[in-house]
Structure 1
Amino acid sequence: MGKGEKLAYNVDISLIKINRNYYYEYKGKIVKKIVYKGRTFFDKYEKIDEPLTFQVMNDHIERKRIIAHDLINRQRNIVENIVFDYNGNNPEIFWNRASLLLREEGFLNFTAYNSKTPGHLHLYIHKGHTTLNEGIQIAKKLSLKLAGKLPKQWRVFPTDELPPEFNILNLPYELYKKERGASWARHM
């Protein structure tokens, strides 16, 4: 990239169905303290009640700011995605095992994106209009099944083990791999 050229946020996030009415910005310092289920959490992300514009997304991709989106549609109490936040050291093995499991479980559409840290992935399982409680149960079930095949090096979302404000993820930086409607899936 030449001097003066600007990056553009061109990562395909259409299946994530991000609520663009607001976003979260990482501030690098404690923004607020949250007590949840007897534990204290320190939130370093500030909710910005402004639209998530392409300029904000471009600032993220250019690494001028760290921007996150909400995984929960709070007005309807639903989630569109179950997400694995993989923080291990072998994304290829994780992708292969996770994609096999997801196909076996009947999930046809899922996308992995690279996160800021090399080798770390955000694997979005595009579930669509799922109640928050059902999403939490599906996430726990899938995580448990995958943990039988791999050492656990991930968190899953949505989760009720963290405050609702912590059910956010940084915007993806680039596509890793995607799966769309495999015709050979077991249940078809």
Structure 2
Amino acid sequence: MAYTVDISLIKMNKSYYYEYKGTIVNKIVYKGRTFFDKYEKINKPLTYQIMNDHAEKKIIVAHDLINRQRNIVENIVFDYNGRDPERFWNRASLLLREEGFLNFTAYHSKTPGHLHLYIHKGHTTLNEAIQLGKSLSMKLASKLPKQWRVFPTDELPSEFNILNLPYELYKKERGAAWSKHM
């Protein structure tokens, strides 16, 4: 099975990746809390063979949301863990269009019914992305019960601002399709 998910808009740094080990790799104390990291950073390029192994569920691979060299973010991501992904998609896409976001994509995660909604923002400073994510989350929470987390976040250590590679495309929105109706 080949990795056929269109991830071109995610713009991830493929010079390294994270692999889930299932055991504690690192213990991190952050803001008075202790976190146990089960992902190991692999300082090798993320190749299609590794992505294929992920698609076949031989390994679990994650990518970094933060470009650490330039301290920028390309995507703001909603990690939806609720029970009604269609309703979440509809509400979130309406909100994002109202806020002026033209390109966003939702992918299935490992758990059925859970989504990763990538908002393709482009070169955004880390602090701006965190604030924008919080703002969008609060606006969406006024319409739906909150069943998601937003990344990047400053509530978790920097090493936890990673997400597993998508398994399958759910839906995508590209600006030109709906903008003619505005």
Superposition TM-score tier, normalisation by shorter sequence: over 0.9
Question: Where in structure 1 are there 5+ consecutive unaligned residues?
Answer: 1-6
Superposed CA offset, 1:38-63 (max 9, x none): 11000000000000000000000000
| Match of residue 176, structure 1, among 151, 162, 170 | 170
Number of matched pairs: 181
Superposed CA offset, 1:65-84 (max 9, x none): 00000000000000000000
Structure 1 residue matching 2:131: 3-state secondary structure: helix
Structure 2 residue matching 1:56: 3-state secondary structure: helix
Superposed CA offset, 1:64-118 (max 9, x none): 0000000000000000000000000000000000000000000000000000000
Q: What is the aligned partner in structure 1 of residue 33 from structure 2?
A: 39
Q: What is the aligned partner in structure 2 of residue 66 from structure 1?
A: 60
Q: What is the aligned partner in structure 2 of residue 97 from structure 1?
A: 91
For residues 183 and 174 of structure 1, do their structure 2 counterparts lie closer, same or farther at Cα, with a shift above 3 Å needed? closer
For residues 144 and 20 of structure 1, do their structure 2 counterparts lie closer, same or farther at Cα, with a shift above 3 Å needed? same
Q: List aligned pairs for 1:32-181, cutoff 5 A.
A: 32-181=26-175
- Please, what TM-score do these two structures have when normalized by structure 2? 0.97
Query: 2:20, 2:51 → 1: CA distance?
Result: 13
> Which runs of 4 or more aligned residues in structure 1 lie more than 6 Å from their structure 2 counterparts after TM superposition?
none
Query: 1:182, 1:101 → 2: CA distance?
Result: 17
Any conservation in 2 of the 1:106–1:185 contact (CA below 8 Å)?
A: no
Structure 2 residue matching 1:112: 3-state secondary structure: strand
Any conservation in 2 of the 1:84–1:157 contact (CA below 8 Å)?
A: yes
* Structure 1 counterpart of 2:7, one-letter code: I
Q: What is the aligned partner in structure 2 of residue 3 from structure 1?
A: none
Question: Where in structure 2 are there 5+ consecutive unaligned residues?
Answer: none
Q: What is the aligned partner in structure 1 of residue 10 from structure 2?
A: 16
**RMSD value, Cα:** 1.1
- Please, what TM-score do these two structures have when normalized by structure 1? 0.94
Cα displacement (A) at 1:185:
4.2
